[in-house]
Amino acid sequence: MSTSTLIINCGSSSIKYALISDQLDTRISGLAENLGSEHARIRGMTFGEQPLDLSLPYADHEQALEVLLQRLSQHQPTAIGHRVVHGGTLTKAELLTPEIIQSIRQATPLAPLHNPAHLIGIEATMRLFPELPQVAVFDTAFHQTMPAHAYRYALPKFLFSEHNVRRYGFHGTSHAYVSERASQLAGAIKHGGWLTAHLGNGSSTCAVWNGKSVDTSMGLTPLEGIVMGTRSGDVDPSLHQFLANNLGWSLERIDKMLNSESGLLGLSNLSNDMRTLVEASEQGHADATLAIEVFAYRLAKSLAAISCGLPQIHGLVFTGGIGENSAYVREKTMAYLPHFGFSLDLEQNKSLPRGTEGRIDQGKGPQIWVIPTDEEGRIAQETQHVIRHL
């Protein structure tokens, strides 16, 4: 591999990594998991598609990164790009300086599960590689172009002006990548209006006009919006009071239920995995069938709602594990969206090989695309862009 960028995505006990050549054509990727426990290990692929499986009992983030980077150093990473979920009001990828690290720390109350883990990774790579330029690429940054009427909540003004309570949106690198790719495939780069549906364990929708996010379904945190694997998406805010008064639940209990026990898992009482639910539904599992129906209906409703941000709809893009792989969910969703002239080609939809790029409409009305997302590739590009403009 020629020179390359190392992409790091740190979770509380895991590190996803990818080493991507500057031409984006060669990649090595993997996962360090169970960090801090006796089962800590690194799994992945090395150059030449050789599997890598290293047991590192009780390794922490820094130790795992040290091992990883020793193994990857022969491929000469020239920069490190960190995925950071919440960048507050930062509008673009930034070179990591003490001030930017402080901004990430200040955004921690808005992403308490994600930002502290990113900071552990950032501090470890800075200690290990003080000579390499490092860049933070924020999930929130793409949505900073939303107009105030899309990002403000109808709440007392001081909550916004003094406490930054507003809608931020997430999955920005994915929505940015697939909307740009769609406009490229349609022959009008960064032009026109696109609806994008990133459907994975976390799911969100986005409306993109001329390459800029104008609305999205997630809000202050990644809980708002459509149905997800274990997250509820939108609920009546008075639910908190109802559960506190009637069941005596604490705020922590309610938060855990909404984030970890709801969504597809809560509705089906079976699984958060769409594959399992589709199979169960085929075998007559009524709650699995309902979970899929609620998922598709609320997704369609969200797409219809945020289409208000677009003067015109050129097309819709499905991406993420479910969007890329489930023809069934795509068909169910489009059945709820007959209003905008969309016409799904049922055969094309079914026959598109899983995880491949393809157009699935009948050639009239707005286009419908399936585009595999490439968050790592996008982070590598943004990292290189920041470094070129230093």
Q: Which is nearer to ligand AMP, 201 or 259 (CB)?
A: 201
Considering only 43, 105, 253, 275, the residue that binds ligand AMP (CB under 6 A) is 275
DSSP-derived letter for residue 344 is B
Q: Which is nearer to ligand AMP, 33 or 273 (CB)?
A: 273
Nearest approach, Cβ of 224 to ligand AMP (angstroms)?
A: 18
User: Do the annotations mark residue 259 as ligand-binding?
Assistant: no
What DSSP string describes 58-120? Answer: T--HHHHHHHHHHHHGGG-EEEEEEEES--TT--S-EE--HHHHHHHHHTGGGSTTTHHHHHH
User: Do the annotations mark residue 200 as ligand-binding?
Assistant: yes
Instruction: Determine the distance from the C-alpha atom of residue 199 to the mean position of all C-alpha atoms in its chain, rounded to a whole number.
Output: 9
User: Do the annotations mark residue 33 as ligand-binding?
Assistant: no
Burial 109-128 (b: 16+ CB within 10 A, else e): ebbeebbebbbbbbebbeee
**Contact status: 87 vs ligand AMP (CB under 6 A):** no
Which residues in 126-165 contact ligand AMP (CB under 6 A)? none
User: Do the annotations mark residue 269 as ligand-binding?
Assistant: no
Nearest approach, Cβ of 196 to ligand AMP (angstroms)?
A: 13
Q: Which is nearer to ligand AMP, 314 or 378 (CB)?
A: 378
Considering only 302, 326, 381, 384, the residue that binds ligand AMP (CB under 6 A) is 326
Segment near ligand AMP (CB under 6 A), from 28-36, 154-162, 241-249, 268-276? 268-276
Segment near ligand AMP (CB under 6 A), from 43-51, 164-172, 213-221, 316-324? 316-324
Residue 222, C-beta contacts closer than 8 angstroms, at least 6 positions apart: 85, 111, 170, 202, 204, 231
Class of residue 80 by CB neighbours under 10 A (exposed 0-12, middle 13-18, buried 19+): buried
Nearest approach, Cβ of 217 to ligand AMP (angstroms)?
A: 16
Nearest approach, Cβ of 327 to ligand AMP (angstroms)?
A: 8
**Both structure tokens of 302:** 């969200």
Task: For helices 274-282 and 286-306, give the axis angle rounded to 10 degrees.
Answer: 130
**Contact status: 322 vs ligand AMP (CB under 6 A):** yes
Backbone angles phi, psi at 86, to 5 degrees: -115, 120
Site string for ligand AMP, 190-229 (x = CB under 6 A): ----------xx---------------------------x
Ramachandran region, residue 211 (left: φ > 0; alpha: ψ -120 to 50; beta: rest): left
Segment near ligand AMP (CB under 6 A), from 51-59, 230-238, 244-252, 315-323? 315-323
The 3-state DSSP class for residue 151 equals helix
Q: Which is nearer to ligand AMP, 283 or 312 (CB)?
A: 283
**Contact status: 325 vs ligand AMP (CB under 6 A):** yes
**Contact status: 263 vs ligand AMP (CB under 6 A):** no
Segment near ligand AMP (CB under 6 A), from 16-24, 73-81, 322-330, 356-364? 322-330
Active site residues: 139
User: Do the annotations mark residue 199 as ligand-binding?
Assistant: yes
What DSSP string describes 248-317? Answer: ---HHHHHHHHHHS-HHHHHHTS-S-HHHHHHHHHTT-HHHHHHHHHHHHHHHHHHHHHGGG-SS--EEE
Rounded-to-integer distance, Cα 175 and Cα 182, Å: 10
**Both structure tokens of 207:** 């409306």
User: Do the annotations mark residue 332 as ligand-binding?
Assistant: no
**Contact status: 350 vs ligand AMP (CB under 6 A):** no
Task: For helices 115-128 and 61-72, give the axis angle rounded to 10 degrees.
Answer: 50
Q: Contact 26/1 with Cβ under 8 angstroms?
A: yes
Q: Which residues are annotated as a binding site for ATP?
A: 16, 198-202, 273-275, 321-325
- The binding site for ligand AMP (CB under 6 A) comprises 200-201, 229, 273-275, 278, 320-322, 325-326, 354
Q: Which residues are annotated as a binding site for substrate?
A: 83
Q: Which residues are annotated as a binding site for Mg(2+)?
A: 9, 375
